[in-house]
Amino acid sequence: MDADAFVVIDQLRATTTIAALFGAGLRRLTAVDDIGAARRLAAEQGALLLGEVDALPPAGFDYGNSPVDAAAAPAAGRDAVLFTSNGTRALCALGDRAAVFTGALANVSTVTRALAPFERVVLVCAGNEHGERFSLEDAAAAAAITHQLLRAHPATRCGDAARLLVAAMPGRDAIATFAASSFHARGISAKGLGGDVSYALRPDTSPAAPRVVACGAGFAVLEDRAR
């Protein structure tokens, strides 16, 4: 897959949580796909520790993988470690190939602006179950980003998947409806975390465009390049 820039989308909830953390003033975030490594790294750095197992924060974590918690966290000027599997693996797979951003409805306008210098852009939906299951909420966020790219750059040529998404979700209401009705959204809400779903459906709550600045086996480091 050739591209000048990738946008990794894990709408519920990793990339929304990342957008919320940087929106709250976070300095740097390290996404990690191993829970033990996440605990060690956070302890070494004195960083905030966020993550989830079965949608809930593991023992000893400061917060879950929750954009509601992230938006209210004392993140200004600090570092954070986020334990997440799907999103981290996508970031690591792409991190040394081109510019890599994280996107969601929460930062749809900022990440769209950040893509302006790049000719070939690929939106990567992280999916569920280690990336093996299609995720409707990720597709909805990809549709929102595609719509904004087309408005900003009308001559943009879309691939078949992007054309299908913008046709199926022609506006904000359709995007929100698809995202809210996804299998994963309903599962998160059933665990009492409907507030995270509602938060994730709100566009442009974050002015951040998080970008991978370093990556390796099982980790990716991001900073906000919108500042």
Residue pointed to by tokens 């996440």? 38
124 falls in which pLDDT band (50, 70, 90)? Answer: very high
Amino acid identity at 63: Y
For residue 111, which of 119, 120, 102 has the smallest C-alpha distance? 102
Cβ count within 10 A of residue 56: 15
| Residue pair 126/85 in contact by the 8 Å Cβ criterion | no
pLDDT at 213: 96
State the pTM of this model. 0.96
Peptide bond into 13 cis (omega under 30): yes
CATH domain 5-224 topology: putative 2-phosphosulfolactate phosphatase (3.90.1560)
pLDDT of res. 154? 94
What's the pLDDT tens digit per position in 129-162?
777 789 999 999 999 999 999 999 999 999 999 9
Summarised one tens digit per residue, pLDDT across range 39-97 is: 999 999 999 999 999 889 999 999 999 999 999 999 999 999 999 988 888 999 898 89
**Which position has the token pair 């905030």?**
48
What are the residue boundaries of the structural domains of the chain, listed by start?
A: 5-224
Q: Which of 201, 174, 169 is nearest to 185 (CA)?
A: 201
Q: Which two tokens stand for residue 27?
A: 């300095």
Evaluate whether 57 touches 76 at the Cβ level (below 8 Å): no
